[in-house]
């Protein structure tokens, strides 16, 4: 194997064997600082990382574990020819390491399956299997020591926004605060602008955040506005999630107007939106209705899996805690239906695949399932 891949494998292997790395200051721009605790020669050689080789190494590290879920894409035919180069988008709450081991009480999941030495390979295997052009993650608490350097080696640029009061910090031996992270393939997209948002409710700042970026597709020249967020969890907070959703929609509208072509009077609707997130809200909640009824003309991509495209999947998370079993839909990929077309949607694993102990498990690293869609730009009329 190549030197870069060898060093990458070695760095991943050592991630848990050393003490937690200190967290650098929150990064607000498109290119995060390189963590000085990493091997300098690895950082210099990371551009040589071969994704196929890295995937093989992950599979080798997991050879004694049950096989990963085999999921299929449902390809949608709207009467148009298949796009030559679709944009693949992944949305995933990967489960913060500190929360999985310390606070989330997954009573049916063995502690060994929750260890970072196991989970990091499962997470990377999922990312390398689907190779999204745009990757939206929540509960990221290993950004600087793992995800930023590894994915930079695969050609991704990224933006990270930690929660102001992350619950991870209450866990002994934590790796810093968790937050939202947005990664994009630099060979496919050019960075134009970004903003990290601390979401508010009735003008009062909350503990939830969002990352929003404006990207330009290198092959088409079309711009795209991408957002990743994670709204307040738990029942009883429906009103707060609704307020946070409204705040995010307001920020998106403002950013789109900022990038509107004033000279030609082009409308903000010319810039498509992709909003990925763990909304912690079922489709019956007000925040879901707010997004559905938004003047931004949004639709939920995973409805495309249903008959007639009218309903969400039965579940995007399935877990057993001390409080009982939870099987519900909380995660979404919203898109501008006037300017983007959904070409393919990755199906959900079956109950049989997930197994009686539910998620996470030795087969899957998170209590949330990844959502993956292929999009293409609609032709301008």
Return averaged pLDDT per consecutive 10 residues of the chain, 381 residues in all. Answer: 47 43 37 40 56 94 92 81 80 96 86 94 97 98 97 97 96 94 98 97 96 96 97 96 98 90 58 97 98 96 95 97 94 97 97 95 97 94 65
Under 8 Å CB-to-CB from 380, ≥6 apart: which residues? 270
Write the DSSP string, 102-146. HTS-BTTS-HHHHSHHHHHHHHHHHHHHH--SEEEEEEE--IIII
Residue 69 CB-density burial (10 A; 0-12 exposed, 13-18 middle, 19+ buried):
middle
Three-class DSSP category at 275 = strand
**pLDDT for 80:** 54
**pLDDT for 268:** 59
Q: What proportions of the chain, in percent to the nearest 5, are helix, strand and coil?
A: 30, 30, 40
Question: Using CA atoms, how far apart are residues 132 and 155, in angstroms rounded to an integer?
Answer: 11
**pLDDT for 102:** 79
**pLDDT for 170:** 93
**pLDDT for 241:** 98
**pLDDT for 284:** 97
Question: Using CA atoms, how far apart are residues 275 and 263, in angstroms rounded to an integer?
Answer: 27
Neighbours of 145 (CB within 10 A): 23
**pLDDT for 259:** 86
Domain 85-377 has CATH 3.60.10.10: yes
Three-class DSSP category at 351 = helix
Three-class DSSP category at 338 = coil
**pLDDT for 298:** 97
Q: Are 277 and 268 in contact (CB under 8 A)?
A: no
**pLDDT for 6:** 47
Beta strands in the chain (DSSP E): 73-75, 87-93, 134-140, 156-162, 179-185, 189-201, 204-217, 223-230, 273-278, 298-300, 317-321, 324-328, 331-336, 340-346, 371-377
pTM flag (> 0.85): yes
Question: Using CA atoms, how far apart are residues 348 and 140, in angstroms rounded to an integer?
Answer: 22
- Single out the residue of 348, 339, 272, 245 nearest to residue 304, CA to CA: 348
């Amino acid at each position: 194997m190549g030197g870069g891949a060898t060093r990458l494998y070695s760095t991943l292997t050592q991630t848990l064997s050393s003490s937690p790395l200190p967290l650098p200051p929150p990064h607000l721009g498109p290119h995060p600082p390189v963590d000085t605790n990493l091997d300098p020669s690895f950082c210099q050689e990371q551009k040589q990382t071969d994704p196929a080789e890295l995937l093989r190494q992950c599979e080798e590290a997991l050879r004694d574990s049950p096989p990963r879920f085999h999921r299929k894409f449902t390809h949608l035919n709207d009467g148009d020819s298949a796009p030559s180069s679709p944009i693949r988008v992944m949305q995933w709450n990967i489960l913060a390491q500190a929360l999985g081991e310390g606070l989330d009480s997954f009573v049916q999941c063995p502690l060994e399956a929750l260890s970072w030495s196991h989970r990091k390979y499962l997470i990377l295997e999922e990312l390398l299997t689907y190779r999204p052009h745009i990757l939206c993650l929540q509960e990221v608490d290993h950004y600087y020591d793992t995800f930023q350097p590894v994915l930079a080696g695969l050609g991704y640029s990224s933006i990270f926004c930690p929660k102001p009061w992350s619950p991870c910090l209450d866990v002994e031996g934590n790796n810093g605060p968790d937050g939202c992270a947005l990664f994009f393939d630099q060979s496919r997209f050019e960075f134009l602008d970004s903003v990290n948002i601390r979401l508010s409710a009735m003008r009062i700042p909350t503990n939830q955040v969002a990352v929003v970026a404006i990207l330009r597709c290198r092959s088409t020249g079309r711009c795209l506005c991408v957002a990743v967020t994670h709204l307040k969890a738990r029942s009883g907070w429906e009103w707060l999630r609704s307020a946070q959703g409204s705040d995010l929609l307001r920020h998106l509208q403002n950013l789109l107007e900022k990038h509107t072509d004033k000279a030609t009077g082009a409308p903000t609707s010319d810039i498509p939106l992709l909003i990925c997130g763990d909304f912690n809200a079922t489709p019956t909640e007000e925040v879901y209705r707010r997004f559905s009824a938004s003047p931004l003309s949004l639709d939920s991509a995973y409805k495309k899996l249903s008959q007639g495209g009218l309903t969400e999947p039965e579940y995007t998370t399935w877990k057993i805690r001390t409080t009982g079993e939870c099987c519900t839909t909380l995660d979404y990929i919203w898109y501008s239906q006037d300017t983007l077309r959904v070409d393919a949607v990755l199906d959900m694993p079956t109950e049989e695949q997930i197994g009686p102990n539910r998620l996470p498990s030795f087969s899957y690293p998170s209590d949330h399932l990844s959502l993956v869609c292929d999009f293409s730009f609609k032709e301008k009329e």
